[in-house]
Structure 1
Amino acid sequence: MRALQNINHKLSLIRGAPEPVRQEGEVKVQIHYASLNPTDADIARGDLDLFIKLARARSSVRTGLEFSGTVAEGSAKFPTGTKVFGYTHLMKGPKTHQDVVSIPESFIAKMPKNLSFSQAAAFPLGAQTSLVALRDIAQLKRGQSVLILGASGGLGVYATQLARHMQLAITGVSGPDGLNLMKELGADEVVNYRRTSIDQMINQFDVVLELSNQYMFRDVRHLLKPHGTFVPTNPQKNLLAIAGNKFRRQKVGYLFVDRGDSTLLTELAGQIAQGVLSVGPVREFDFEDFEQAFASLQQPGQLGRTVMRLR
């Protein structure tokens, strides 16, 4: 088995690695595609070493969260041969940059029939996080307004579509390359941040959804309505603001989706099957070209997601 191991903050593709042993409540999956996320780059650099140590993660395969594949050793819910996709635990779970993974059933769902393996690997984290942000954290209702920062990125393409499905008033912000994509996905207004400042949109939004990892609450609170909510995908940068929620009308949501949820993933797969959601742009690399794949994460203005082909 091939495995991308992280030893002393250096990634190496190892051959002949032992296959994981399936535990109770898990299925063993032959991986076809695995995604790359900014978090993977953080882990590879060692930025999350403390959290990994606290989580007692033992495997030297520490990168890879999302995947698609075929069940090799199944269960009643996911029989052998079933096509599945999922999102493993951010810190403690088995990682997906290896040919075979043994993963809890609760982290996966059956693949929609209208998705390729490549698309399915690019889908779960962004779609599930966006759904939780808009519906559960922000609790937005039909007709309310949302400003999506990073609307054409890996999470933004799903947040924009889900916001459209919820019949929200959507303003999407991205670089020039993402403007047409945002319109296609359903944004009512699009903003090129290189040409237009968002600072003049004072008190216009019920929710600001921060997917670009560029802004903190203090940077955008003037854009919110008096009872508006700021939802960042990196709550750790906004812990002081979150702690101050009880002292002000404007709130900061704590969004932290650290693993796949089979129920939510099944719901989202149904929306894919019905045409409510579509997968955004996907960039593919061979597993052997992992260095190029990781390097691509550092390129600014990327649209959509990056995946590696393992099978």
Structure 2
Amino acid sequence: MPKTIRALIQSPEPGKMAVAQAPAPIPGRGQVLVEVKVSAVNEMDVQVRAGLWAKNVKAFLKRGPVVTGFEFAGIARSDGGRIKAGDRVIGYVNVLSGPRTHAGQVCVDETDIEVIPQSWSLDDAAALVVMGLTAVEILERLAPVSPGKRVLIIGAAGGVGVYTLQLAKHQGAHVTVVCSERNAAWMKSMGANAVRAYETEPNFKTGDLFDVVVDVPCKESFAASAPFLARGGMYVGTNPLADLGGFVRAAFSSRRAGYLMMLTTTPAKLRRLIELAALGALRPAIDSRFPLSQADQAFDRFETRGKQGRVLLKIED
């Protein structure tokens, strides 16, 4: 096994990332060593690059120089209880405290990974992990829908949005999406029944009555959504801190508020993701791929409005 690995680190230049050699990690008890092949970019990653999450970054640096990345697809290089060396796996570590994954190898708790089918490409697998899991949490735990129910997805062209669209359609819902004009045709190809371009149309219109509103960028609120929710309908935001008053208002309403911030996973949740992908309910949506040496371009792309799905980092250039 190599003694060093390629790793993405914070550059001495503020607001930049750099590639360096780092000591190869050694798995501890209950952990599996994984050779990371592909890892996606998320909001926390670009915020860390910008200097945020200082307390968490300080804790990450106690493990090593890598401070970004928390999902991946790769190959197990050590045995665990369930996982065997050579297995192709996906993983999602604890967002706030787990090891970072923008590196050639990572040691992860075996409970954070699952074996994927041999037929899957590692790019496709990496594109599904966190945002696919988030869609499953929304539509199988928070706000399940049945055939004929009406769903609105705000910010539908990003990873969470496109997977929520796919899963809602799999459940038989009528789905309206809000996205950029340039993504309208793509959203229809993904199954959207109706598309609203945010440049020219409001999120809500007179006469709307949705059973579920999924607000990915948290541009609205429970109060703003409630007049357009059916009785018993739910507003779902992806950041509970963005609308704390919604919890209180929903307690006195026939409409509901649900908020989701996924920080961890389980083997059962990963298996459910794999099962839904095998059924065709979730299909990988990849906007772009960048080599690790172009991480700054990848982070910039993630922040660009109008992207279509996930931004991936290929660990091997």
Normalising by the residue count of structure 2, what TM-score does the alignment of the two structures yield?
A: 0.90
Q: For residues 185 and 12 of structure 1, do their structure 2 counterparts lie closer, same or farther at Cα, with a shift above 3 Å needed? A: closer
State whether residues 286 and 312 of structure 2, in contact with CA within 8 Å, keep that contact through their aligned partners in structure 1.
Answer: no
Tell me if 1:167 matches 2:172: yes
C-alpha distance in 2 between matches for 1:192 and 1:115:
33
1:3 aligns with 2:7: yes
Structure 1: distance between partners of 2:101 and 2:291: 14
2:136 partner letter: L
Is residue 66–residue 100 contact of structure 2 (8 Å, CA) maintained in 1? yes
Whichever residue aligns with residue 34 of structure 2, its letter is V
Shift of 1:5: 2.1
**Aligned partners of 2:35 and 2:104 also within 8 Å:** yes
Q: Deviations over 1:135-181 (max 9, x none)?
A: 21113333221101111211111111110111112111111222222
Q: Provide the C-alpha distance between the structure 2 equivalents of 1:162 and 1:57, rounded to a whole number of angstroms.
A: 37
Q: Over aligned residue pairs, what C-alpha RMSD do you find? A: 2.1
Q: Per-residue CA shift, 1:110-141, capped at 9, x if unaligned?
A: 12333211121111111100110112111333
* Structure 1 residues 1-311: aligned runs within 5 Å: 1-6=5-10, 10-50=15-55, 58-59=62-63, 60-311=65-316
Inter-partner Cα distance in structure 2 for 1:243 and 1:43: 32
After superposition, the C-alpha distances for 1:178-237 in whole angstroms (9 at most, x for unaligned) are 222222222222222222223314451011001133223333332212332110111110
Partner letter of residue 115 of structure 2? Answer: K
The whole-number CA distance in structure 2 between the counterparts of 1:112 and 1:276 is 16
Comparing 29-38 with 58-67, greater Cα deviation is found at 58-67
SS at match of 2:204: helix
Percent of aligned pairs with the same residue? 29
Cα distance change of structure 1 residues 92 and 251 upon mapping to structure 2, 3 Å threshold: same
**CA distance in structure 2 between the partners assigned to 1:212 and 1:256 by the alignment:** 13
Structure 1 range deviating more: 202-211 or 110-119: 110-119
Aligned equivalents of 1:5 and 1:229: distance in 2? Answer: 40
Q: Distance in 1 between matches of 2:191 and 2:157?
A: 11
C-alpha separation between the residues in 2 aligned to 1:43 and 1:239? 24
- Asked whether the 8 Å contact 1:4–1:11 carries over to 2, the reply is no
Distance 1:196 1:16, change over 3 A: closer
Unaligned runs of 5+ in 2: none
TM-superposed deviation, 1:244: 3.6
Q: How many residues align?
A: 310
- Amino acid aligned to 2:251: K
